[in-house]
A = this chain, B = another copy of it.
Amino acid sequence: MANIKSVAQKAGVNVSTVSRYVAGKLNVKKETREKIDAAIAELGYRPHATAKALKTSVTNCIGIVIPTIRNPLFADIVAGLTQRLEANKFTTMLYSTENHLSKEKEGIGTLLAGRVDGLVVVGSSGKTGSRDWLEEVKDIIPLVVVNRCWQNGDFNRVITDFTAGSRLAADYLVGKGYRRFAVITGYKDNEESQLKLYGFEQELWQRGIMLGQDMVAEGFFSYDKAYHAARKLLGYRPEAVFAASDLMAAAVLKATKDCGLVVPEDMAVIGYGDSQISQITTPALTTVAQHAVESGAAAANLLIEVMKEPGPAREVIMRTELVVRQST
């Protein structure tokens, strides 16, 4: 590959002149410019980003760590991130932990080795959390966490107000006259799942309604697992089921149908996410919208801001909304 030296040689000038010209500094004679342009074109020269990064300590690259790209929610967050970052001339390095929190440390480690200017870590920590580890990281490199709410150090963060979203759902259902509820959560130990459950219970409690312990089951954010959980819960004859994701709500619809019940006449179902799934089911799902793409974009903007001028930790809260369709 052609390098700056060969360009300089061919153009008959010094490397520093080429460097300055390529960088856009304008104190270079027209005649020289033309010679350099010609040399660049002829050699197919392309500045070597790695060398530049080594010299300047700026990589123009941001690391993103996610649990899995196959969850549409995370895909949306990544989409929001890459859009904003690419628009700001950053490239992105993606590391997927495949839902193994233990791989998070490894992933961050590889990204950290002088490869990126900043880091975005997406997704819930587990029960144990990786708090101590991230605590170190944020001293090494600008860091933004997304939807990791338990992390109570002062991190720059974008969080969705999952609790408020669940309260919207509960409020709406109670207002509709339902009194006997069941909930399908994600993972018992997962913070996002817990916050969603917590908000729902809290709102019910304020309305003087109790949610029986038998009425909560884990669905593991999986269609099949949620289906089985739903079959069990339906035995207790709830009037309405709240699922922590649209995918699991879709499973509830299926279970309901297989039990010979009709939604919404015999039972109401409400999902979470307002993903494409919620439009596709029959009946279409009432759901809590959580603006995943915008969360990603907000995280990108926050990180860029933080890299420009560091300071005390900043926080962005993403609001949720209720989207009413035909399942309630």
Q: Decide if A93 touches B96 in the complex (CB within 8 Å).
A: no
Tell me which residues across on chain B come within 8 A of A82, comparing CB atoms. 69, 94-96
Shortest distance in angstroms between A139's beta carbon and chain B's nearest beta carbon? 10
Query: Which residues on the B side are within 8 Å of A151 (C-beta)?
Result: none
Alpha-carbon distance between A114 and B49 when the two chains are bound, in angstroms: 6
Residue of B nearest to A136 (CB): B44
How many chain A residues touch B (CB < 8 A): the figure is 49
Q: Is the CB of B68 within 8 A of A79?
A: yes
In A115-132, the 8 Å CB interface with B consists of: 115
Task: Tell me which residues across on chain B come within 8 A of A190, comparing CB atoms.
Answer: none
Q: Is the CB of B92 within 8 A of A51?
A: no
- Which of B49, B68, B114 is within 8 Å of A115, CB to CB? B49
Complex Cα gap A92–B115 (Å): 11
**Interface residues in A48-98 (C-beta closer than 8 Å to B):** 48-51, 53-54, 59, 61, 68-70, 72, 75-76, 78-79, 82-83, 86, 91-96, 98
> Which residues of chain A in 250-285 are interfacial with respect to chain B, using CB atoms and an 8 Å cutoff?
250, 253-254, 257, 276-277, 279-282
A223 contacts partner chain B, Cβ-Cβ < 8 Å: yes
- Shortest beta-carbon distance from A155 to chain B in Å: 20
Select which of B51, B72, B94 is within 8 A of A72 by beta carbon.
B72
Residue A112 at the chain B interface, CB threshold 8 Å: yes
Assembled-state Cα–Cα distance A253/B61 (Å): 44
A18 contacts chain B at the CB level, 8 A cutoff: no
Binding site for B on A (CB under 8 A): 1, 46-51, 53-54, 59, 61, 68-70, 72, 75-76, 78-79, 82-83, 86, 91-96, 98, 109-115, 140, 223, 247, 250, 253-254, 257, 276-277, 279-282
